[in-house]
Amino acid sequence: MAPPLERLPAEYRALFRHTATYPEFHRFMRQEATTDSPRLHWVAENLLTPLIDRLLPKIKAAQAEGLLPPVEPILFHYMMVSLTAGLSEFGPEMRATCGLSVNRPEVAHAYWSLVERTISGALSGTTAMGSRKRKQE
């Protein structure tokens, strides 16, 4: 059996690639969530719940080994979902405020690299900039 953290990054990277390639999916999900529509329930039952059912045991296993923070696993999952959807969520705003086109492959690559460095730094006790975090006294 693969170590708990072996598949999680790949799963969230795939989700990121999907939302970066099809930003309308995330926008659709946000729109449907505001109205609690039947479409939201269909997507939740047919797409989201199977994904969650696959990821939560991996998150729990990584937590049991001290590799992820000891929080409710669904909170960690939705934090990662939020990060994966960042470009699709804020792409139009980034284009309007600073002219950044999030559709460019190098922008998507830079964004996901930042996510991975930030998450791995938080888990290893370093910041995304590589310096050690100070212990709270």
- Dig out the tokens for 133 from the structure: 């975090």
Q: What is the pLDDT of residue 57?
A: 94
In a domain, 136, yes or no: no
Q: What is the pLDDT of residues 71-106, one digit of tens each?
A: 999 999 999 999 999 988 898 899 999 999 888 999
Cα separation, 77 vs 12, in Å, equals: 9
Cα separation, 52 vs 105, in Å, equals: 28
Q: What is the pLDDT of residue 78?
A: 94
Whether residue 2 is predicted with pLDDT greater than 60 in this model: the reply is yes
In a domain, 137, yes or no: no
In a domain, 15, yes or no: yes
Q: How many domains does the chain have?
A: 1
CATH number of the domain enclosing 60: 1.10.357.10
In a domain, 131, yes or no: no
Quote the domain boundaries for residue 62. Answer: 4-124
- Dig out the tokens for 131 from the structure: 């310096």
In a domain, 132, yes or no: no
In a domain, 43, yes or no: yes
Global confidence as pTM: 0.80
In a domain, 83, yes or no: yes
Whether residue 134 is predicted with pLDDT greater than 70 in this model: the reply is no
In a domain, 135, yes or no: no
φ, ψ for residue 67, nearest 5 deg: -90, -15
